[in-house]
């Protein structure tokens, strides 16, 4: 059975490689609309499902298509991917010395013969950053790691030095809740 990851994220690819040996990547073309008015977990589920459905519709046969989307929230404010270094700077100031929540949606579409199953869920993990000085933020921004990252940071990268505590699963913060995906694939006898 083909396993397809509907993502352009190298981080999701790395996480998938820890679960399955053989899979392919097909990048969905639709842009994510993170401005929609709905709660964070439902929005992450919806965006994940959109990615999976787009790729599912372009493929055929017995297959598993996996979509995922990640967003950061602090005090009811959504932090998506920064559009500029200044926006990243503001996000990091906001995260300094505070808890925030990382929401990651997961959509898994499975076709076996004529039967199609759909799993859609959202996992969340809480993260607390240390107090950051402007010097800390400037140092970090110099690496350009913040680009294309929800909340302007990558917990598995350089910015892990800012993380004081985590309550939840690390893979959720990275962008693909592998503990949840494993359970689905195991229940479906795919792994």
d(CA 48, CA 108): 9
- What's the pTM value of the predicted model, to 2 decimals? 0.92
Specify the pLDDT at position 4: 98
Closest alpha carbon to 125 in 175, 67, 88: 175
Specify the pLDDT at position 34: 57
- Catalytic residue annotation: 69
Specify the pLDDT at position 36: 66
Specify the pLDDT at position 35: 64
Specify the pLDDT at position 134: 98
d(CA 80, CA 20): 29
d(CA 25, CA 189): 21
Q: What fold is seen in the domain 2-187?
A: Maf protein (3.90.950)
What stretches in the chain show pLDDT beneath 50? Answer: none
């Amino acid at each position: 059975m083909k396993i397809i990851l509907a993502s352009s994220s190298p981080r999701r690819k790395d996480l998938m490689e820890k679960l399955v040996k053989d899979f392919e990547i097909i990048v969905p073309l639709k842009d994510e609309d993170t401005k929609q008015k709905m709660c964070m977990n439902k929005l992450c589920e919806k965006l994940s499902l959109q990615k999976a459905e787009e790729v599912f519709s372009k493929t055929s046969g017995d297959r598993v298509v996996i979509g995922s989307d990640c967003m950061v929230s602090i005090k009811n404010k959504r932090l998506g991917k920064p559009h500029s270094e200044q926006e990243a700077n503001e996000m990091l100031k906001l995260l300094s010395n505070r808890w925030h929540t990382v929401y990651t949606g997961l959509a898994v579409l499975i076709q076996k013969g004529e039967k199609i199953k759909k799993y859609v869920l959202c996992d969340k993990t809480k993260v607390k950053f240390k107090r950051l000085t402007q010097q800390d933020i400037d140092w970090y921004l110099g690496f350009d790691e913040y680009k294309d990252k929800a909340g302007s940071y990558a917990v598995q990268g350089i910015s892990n030095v800012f993380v004081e505590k985590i309550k939840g699963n690390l893979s959720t913060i990275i962008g693909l809740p592998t503990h949840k995906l494993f359970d689905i694939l195991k229940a479906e006898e795919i792994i």
